[in-house]
């Protein structure tokens, strides 16, 4: 599988035969309206870490997709599921499980990844009983930091997921893009260090809706000064880079890594497009089935990209996922 998916070829195939390639292979369901239930999958001290489960309101056993929200591991919550992804996955008959995880800087990287691992353990142990899902195959997706966690799940979750679809994600946590001051306007803030740290606290948090502080401003401060790796992990990435390696997908791709489809815009100033090309290179070296769908001139979240290409990218992403979930 080529590491860079040929956009013109994809668009041509989609236009010629949408039903053959681009529509969900599992078929759409029109029965039973979707419902959402919230479960506590883990408790740390007094903090309940939760998951939202979206599924049709019926008794049918359904395939499952896990979603991880974005927010630089600093902000966000389980409610941050892509509306497009949720609609399409529910329409294709899936159950969608969206996990909270503890947020940095109050909680450091190893414990954030421990939440990811424990979430998958809970899904496999309790999912069939609690919300009637087939856990013999599990798809994973997410955007930005959620895309990063999607890729981390490819080697940290047990059992390994079946297929991964990270959107504008990253497998590197210490490169210049994140470990040096950002030149981009989106990361500039007038906060002092003291003001920035007032936007976060000391008590662990797993849902930023519970905080009245501007955690996004803290993230901007970290990017402006190139301190995100240390803020998230607690280690100096200049003097102790090896401490980050167990949590960096770029350092952990093997031939057993799950099939992966990535989507990324070439003008992304938050997570550079290079993050997906670097992942594609590693996947290619290990012989892992993969595709990289490139959206020219698209910013973070594909803003500014061509709508036709974006639509085709989502359809191909879902087709790739469905094909491996059969």
* pLDDT tens, position by position, 10-55: 333 333 223 222 334 444 444 467 899 999 999 999 999 999 999 9
Whether 11 is covered by a domain: the verdict is: yes
pLDDT in tens, 176-219: 999 999 999 999 988 999 999 999 999 999 999 998 899 999 99
- Rounded mean pLDDT of 125-152? 98
Whether 201 is covered by a domain: the verdict is: no
User: Does 147 have pLDDT greater than 70?
Assistant: yes
CA 8 from centre of chain: 26
Please enumerate in sequence order all residues whose Cβ is within 8 A of that of 307, keeping only pairs 6 or more positions apart, or say none: none
Whether 151 is covered by a domain: the verdict is: yes
Whether 14 is covered by a domain: the verdict is: yes
Cα–Cα–Cα angle for 237, 145, 279, rounded to 5 degrees: 75
Domain hosting residue 24, numbered range? 7-173+248-325
pLDDT in tens, 154-170: 999 999 999 999 999 99
What are the residues facing 98 on neighbouring strands?
A: 52, 67
| DSSP E strand stretches across 26-108 | 34-44, 47-56, 62-68, 95-99
Q: Per the structure, how many domains does the chain have? A: 1
Q: Residue 134 belongs to what H/E stretch?
A: strand 133-143
pLDDT of residue 32: 62
What backbone phi and psi angles, to 5 degrees, belong to 95? -100, 135
User: Does 304 have pLDDT greater than 50?
Assistant: yes
In angstroms, the Cα distances linking 67 to 33, 89, 97, 229 are: 20, 11, 6, 23
- Averaged confidence pLDDT in the chain: 91
Whether 210 is covered by a domain: the verdict is: no
SS3 content of the chain, % helix, strand, coil (to 5): 40, 20, 40
List b or e across 219-234, with b for residues whose CB sees 16 or more CB atoms inside 10 angstroms. Answer: bbbbbbbbbbbbbbbe
Provide the CATH number for the domain around residue 18.
3.40.50.1820
pLDDT in tens, 107-121: 999 999 999 999 999
Whether 221 is covered by a domain: the verdict is: no
Whether 212 is covered by a domain: the verdict is: no
User: Does 4 have pLDDT greater than 60?
Assistant: no
Whether 158 is covered by a domain: the verdict is: yes
Of the two residues 253 and 13, the one the predictor is more confident about is 253
Please give the share of the chain, as a percent, with pLDDT higher than 70.
Answer: 90
pLDDT of residue 33: 76
């Amino acid at each position: 599988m080529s590491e860079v998916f040929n956009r013109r070829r994809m668009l041509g195939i989609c236009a010629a035969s949408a039903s053959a390639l681009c529509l969900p292979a599992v078929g759409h369901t029109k029965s039973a309206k979707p419902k959402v239930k919230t479960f506590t999958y883990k408790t740390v001290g007094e903090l309940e870490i939760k998951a939202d489960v979206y599924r049709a309101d019926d008794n049918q056993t359904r395939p499952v997709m896990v979603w991880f929200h974005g927010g630089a591991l600093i902000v966000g919550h389980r409610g941050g599921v892509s509306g497009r992804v949720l609609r399409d996955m529910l329409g294709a008959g899936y159950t969608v499980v969206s996990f909270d995880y503890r947020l940095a800087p109050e909680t450091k990287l190893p414990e954030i990844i421990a939440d990811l691992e424990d979430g998958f353990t809970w899904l496999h142990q309790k999912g069939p009983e609690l919300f009637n899902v087939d856990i013999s195959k599990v798809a994973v997706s997410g955007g930005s930091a959620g895309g990063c966690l999607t890729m981390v799940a490819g080697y940290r979750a047990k059992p390994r997921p079946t297929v991964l679809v990270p959107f504008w994600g990253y497998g590197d946590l210490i490169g210049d893009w994140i470990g040096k001051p950002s030149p981009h306007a989106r990361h500039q803030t007038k906060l002092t260090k003291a003001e920035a740290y007032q936007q976060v606290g000391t008590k662990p948090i797993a849902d930023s809706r519970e905080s009245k502080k501007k955690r996004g401003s803290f993230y901007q401060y970290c990017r402006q000064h190139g301190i995100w790796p240390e803020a998230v992990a607690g280690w100096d990435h200049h003097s102790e880079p090896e401490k980050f390696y167990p949590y960096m997908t770029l350092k952990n791709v093997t031939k057993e890594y799950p099939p992966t489809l990535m989507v990324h815009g070439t003008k992304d100033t938050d997570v550079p497009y290079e993050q997906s090309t670097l992942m594609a290179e590693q996947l290619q070296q290990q012989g892992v089935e993969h595709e990289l769908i490139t959206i020219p001139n698209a910013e973070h979240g594909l803003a500014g990209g061509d709508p036709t290409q974006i639509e085709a990218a989502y359809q191909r992403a879902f087709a790739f996922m469905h094909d491996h979930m059969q």
